[in-house]
Amino acid sequence: MKTIRYALHDGIATLTFDEPGSPVNTMCADWQRDLTEATQQVVRDKDSIRGILLASAKKTFFAGADLKGTMRLTQADAPRVFQEIEQTKKNFRTLETLGKPVVSLLNGSALGGGWELALVGHYRVAVDDPKVQFGLPELTLGLIPGASGITKMTRLLGLMGAQPYIMESKLFNPGEALSLGLVHELVPDAAALRDAGLAWVARHAAGEAPAHHPWDDKNYKMPGGTPASPKVAGALTVAPAMLRKKTHGLYPAPEYALAAMVEGAQVDYDTATRIESRYLARLIVSPVAKNMINTFFFDMNAIRSGRSRPGASERWKPGKVGILGAGMMGAGIAHAQATRGIATVLRDVSAEKAEAGKGYTRKLTARRVTDGRMSEQAQAAILERIHATDRMADLQGCDLIIEAVFENRQLKAEVTREAEPMLAPGGFFASNTSTLPITGLAQASRDATKFVGIHFFSPVDKMKLVEIIRGQATGDDTVARAFDYVQALGKIPIVVNDSRGFFTSRVFGTFVMEGAAMLGEGIPAAVIERAGVEAGMPVGPLAVMDETALSLSVHVLDQTRADVRAEGGTYIASPGELLVERMVKEFDRPGRAGGGGFYEYPQDAGARKFLWPQLKALFEKPGVAWDLQTLKDRLLYRQAVETARCLAEGVLTSVHDGNIGSIFGIGFPAWTGGALQFIYGQGVGAFCERAAQLADAHGPGYAVTPRVREALLRHQPSW
């Protein structure tokens, strides 16, 4: 056997999982074959066996499915996949029902298929380490637990109790597992696992421990009741509708998981696991699963491992960081730093404004203290790390200074020149601009090699993505340290090259402006908003523009016109930009913060916002024809085409940055796997064909040039 070592000594059969050439154990094809062989050997040795131990030779117990193999599956593979899943479960079931005590020795994390393997043990012993994680994260990858995880967790915790761990992919550490009854014993370290397992086998021999699972007992009853019980039935009546409202039918995995839970709870164990297998076999070959696996596993791991980080310098963490501007963005950055142990100087033009910015952290942490999630001492320590000031001199010795002032090139230049001398030797300077090219801003710097863009998203405490922008002169070491800084905050860094709007703001602009253009064409605003949500965007384009401020879009438009004019050209505004300009300058509708934009915002407590009634009279055209699918395509394809252009122009240098950036920065639908995976998932040819149709009907924003198509093909992932 290649991946499992089998040993029988003194009546104890030990199956040690050890996949060669891999840092973790996975359910690869070799492992599946080896498990069958090992199980057959256990059966042959049955009369000589007193107990069975499941162990790992890796630092973790087991990582789960072989996802690279999953990416190569096609629809035609579904029947074979079903048979393979069933064979694995047959092996599990053979070990579980042999009449011999089985103990899982959990030396580290066990996730997905790894946790399902752990559940084979009648008794589960884990190392008492809060960093170890157990659970079933499959739904986050567009899959469902299919190696008996749904069936067993439902029978262990009940339909309602298992819901967070299956439907929400909630993970848990060994201590939490013990309190849930999912782990039976904790030991201080991995060296103590085997002795604990042997002790339990001895208790079984003494008649004190059962060699079967609870559901194999004739007196077993499901915790909380079956779907037939009134309380459970009442909850299940509304569950599908609530789920549909949340997923809009775009994510099959949650629907399949719920169905497997409920259907499996009404039948015997073996039938329940077969139901589970059928759902997984259908799902694992689906496009949505592949899209989500590609992005949320492979692309995310590429970023976490630092593939976008240039150079090979040692990892870096700043000791002291200064922030210029204590408004919403600066205050949010200060909060992110202080909660991660970084000394922060928050500077504004007045002490009052600086203190107000610090008050943002006080407000957020107070909620956690009230909820019992943070002690008053911890809150005090966080607040102590933020020094609010109006004195530029207090920035002296900062390893990094970030300006987060208003989007005005002259103002940014002034604060850059004033603050840079305060940097510690070797320190660097960053701009939090969302649109202004970094190369131009770096002209105010004393050393452009140490000037970089670090673009946070609002609200900073909730948004995980940070866009790092390399100017033409920015050095590799500066980009690398910016990358390390973002990771030190617990956020997700992507690295892009300089251009107007960079990547995220540029692509986000196409989404909102396409929505505005639709309104200008006479399409009802409510239909446009619905199309955005039905496509999988968090909110419609008009609603999100209200939140980010129409006035900001107009300010960017004015700045762009001025910049292009200074370069000797003329900027041609898009139909969407012109409509937004009218909303602000003609109708005085600057957005939510200014009192209203595309929506009205009632002041009455509990009252919901509603579309500005005048939109109907000003823009809607009763006779205009529209098709919901076309509107959805327009909103998604326009963003995807712009992302592909960024790839072709070198603004994006990797597919993983484009996918992760589009989902976490723009809100591109997760079911697509990101803006570039949206293209690759359907095939470059099919995408370009549909884009050409949209370009013919709705303008050059959808045009895919030969250069863009070639870039897409050059960067296409291969499995």
Q: What is the spatial order of strands in the sheet that 343-347 belongs to? A: 386-389, 343-347, 320-324, 398-403, 423-431, 451-456, 465-470, 492-497
Q: What is the pLDDT of residue 408?
A: 87
Alpha-helical segments (H) within 394-524: 409-419, 438-441, 476-488, 504-520
Tell me the pLDDT tens digit for each residue of 272-330.
Answer: 999 999 999 999 999 999 999 999 999 999 999 999 999 889 999 999 999 999 999 99
Residue showing tokens 């540029």:
506
Tell me the pLDDT tens digit for each residue of 537-582.
Answer: 999 999 999 998 999 899 989 988 988 898 899 999 999 999 999 9
Q: Is the dihedral of CA 472, 477, 479, 482 positive or negative?
A: negative
Tell me the pLDDT tens digit for each residue of 501-536.
Answer: 899 999 999 999 999 999 999 999 999 999 999 999
Burial annotation 498-532 (CB, 10 A radius, 16+ → b, else e): bbbbbbbbbbbbbbbbbbbbbbbbebbbeebbebb
- Peptide bond just before 613 cis, omega within 30 deg: no
Tell me the pLDDT tens digit for each residue of 99-158.
Answer: 999 999 999 999 999 999 999 999 999 999 999 999 999 999 999 999 999 999 999 999
Q: What is the pLDDT of residue 237?
A: 86
DSSP letter (8 states) at residue 314: P
Annotated domain spans of the chain: 4-285, 320-501, 505-650+683-714
Q: What is the pLDDT of residue 500?
A: 85
Q: What is the pLDDT of residue 624?
A: 94
Q: Is the pLDDT of residue 211 over 80?
A: yes
Measured distance CA(202)–CA(210) in Å, rounded: 11
How many other CB atoms are found less than 10 A from the CB of residue 617? 7
Q: Is the pLDDT of residue 399 over 80?
A: yes
Average pLDDT, the chain: 96
Q: What is the pLDDT of residue 236?
A: 87
Measured distance CA(2)–CA(366) in Å, rounded: 54
Q: What is the pLDDT of residue 434?
A: 85
Rounded-to-10 torsion of CA 552, 584, 668, 405: 10
Tell me the pLDDT tens digit for each residue of 336-366.
Answer: 999 999 999 999 999 999 999 999 999 999 9
* Percent share of the chain, pLDDT over 70: 100
Residue from 251, 268, 401, 377 nearest 322 by CA:
401
Residue 301 vs residue 208, higher pLDDT:
301
Best CATH choice for the domain 505-650+683-714 from the list 2.40.30.10, 3.90.1150.10, 1.10.1040.50, 2.40.50.140: 1.10.1040.50
User: What is the three-class DSSP state of 127?
Assistant: strand
Residue from 67, 237, 258, 275 nearest 168 by CA:
258
Class of domain 320-501: alpha beta
Tell me the pLDDT tens digit for each residue of 12-61.
Answer: 999 999 999 999 999 999 999 999 999 999 999 999 999 999 999 999 99
pLDDT, average across residues 672-678: 98
Alpha-helical segments (H) within 127-268: 149-166, 174-180, 193-205, 230-247, 252-264
Measured distance CA(155)–CA(158) in Å, rounded: 5
pLDDT, average across residues 371-380: 95
Residue showing tokens 């070797």:
426
Measured distance CA(416)–CA(419) in Å, rounded: 5
Q: Determine the residue type at 184.
A: H
pLDDT band at 234 (very low <50, low <70, confident <90, very high): confident
Tell me the pLDDT tens digit for each residue of 443-461.
Answer: 999 999 999 999 999 899 9
Q: Is the dihedral of CA 325, 331, 336, 339 positive or negative?
A: positive
pLDDT band at 666 (very low <50, low <70, confident <90, very high): very high
Measured distance CA(583)–CA(554) in Å, rounded: 10
Q: What is the pLDDT of residue 422?
A: 98
Q: What is the pLDDT of residue 208?
A: 87
Q: Is the pLDDT of residue 719 over 80?
A: no
pLDDT band at 471 (very low <50, low <70, confident <90, very high): very high
* Percent share of the chain, pLDDT over 90: 91
Q: What is the pLDDT of residue 161?
A: 96
For residue 388, which phi and psi values (nearest 5 degrees)? -85, 135
Q: Is the pLDDT of residue 612 over 90?
A: yes
User: What is the three-class DSSP state of 512?
Assistant: helix
Measured distance CA(333)–CA(329) in Å, rounded: 6
CATH of domain 4-285: 3.90.226.10
The verdict on pTM exceeding 0.85 is yes
Q: What is the pLDDT of residue 488?
A: 97
Q: For helices 504-520 and 575-585, give the axis angle rounded to 10 degrees.
A: 80
